[in-house]
Amino acid sequence: MGGDLQNPTYRDVSKGNSGHLEVVEITYDPKKVGYETLAKLFFEIHDPTQANGQGPDLGSQYLSAIFTSNADEKRIVHKLIDILKEKGLKVVTKVYEKVPFYKAEKYHKDYYKIKNKQPYCYAYTKRF
């Protein structure tokens, strides 16, 4: 998401100069789970303090960011960031308004499964 190029390819994004970020799109039923619960999980399954990427994946396309769909989501995210900062974390997560989401090409989906590797970019850390 992000960037100026429409329908970017993985190669466009992986160069790190397209302005796009590698993200996942979450679709949820608010009758089953609230946005705040999902946003908390977001901050607990990656490192919101790493400024140059995530884990060993370095570059502008791997920065911590969240795209919000409305003012309420934005308010919740900023509230959670403030809580984390009060706990002493130097949160670098950027908050953007939702823009078009471009799906990855088939060869880049299910990366860990295709490569038969263990995920290395995230780990659960209780923060709330």
Please indicate, yes or no, if residue 21 is contained in any of the structural domains: yes
Closest to 127 measured CA to CA, from 75, 96, 66, 86: 86
Number of domains in the chain: 1
Please indicate, yes or no, if residue 116 is contained in any of the structural domains: no
State in Å, rounded, how far the first CA of the chain is from the last one: 27
Average pLDDT, the chain: 92
- Say what the pLDDT of residue 112 is: 76
Q: What is the per-residue pLDDT across 23-35, written as a single tens digit (0 to 9) for each?
A: 999 999 999 999 9
Q: Kindly write down the DSSP assignment for every residue of 2-49, as one continuous string.
A: BSS-SS--HHHHHTT-SSB---------TTTS-HHHHHHHHHHSS-TT
Q: What is the per-residue pLDDT across 55-91, written as a single tens digit (0 to 9) for each?
A: 888 999 999 999 999 999 999 999 999 999 999 999 9
Entry pTM:
0.89
Domain that holds residue 97: 10-101
- Say what the pLDDT of residue 116 is: 83
- Say what the pLDDT of residue 102 is: 93
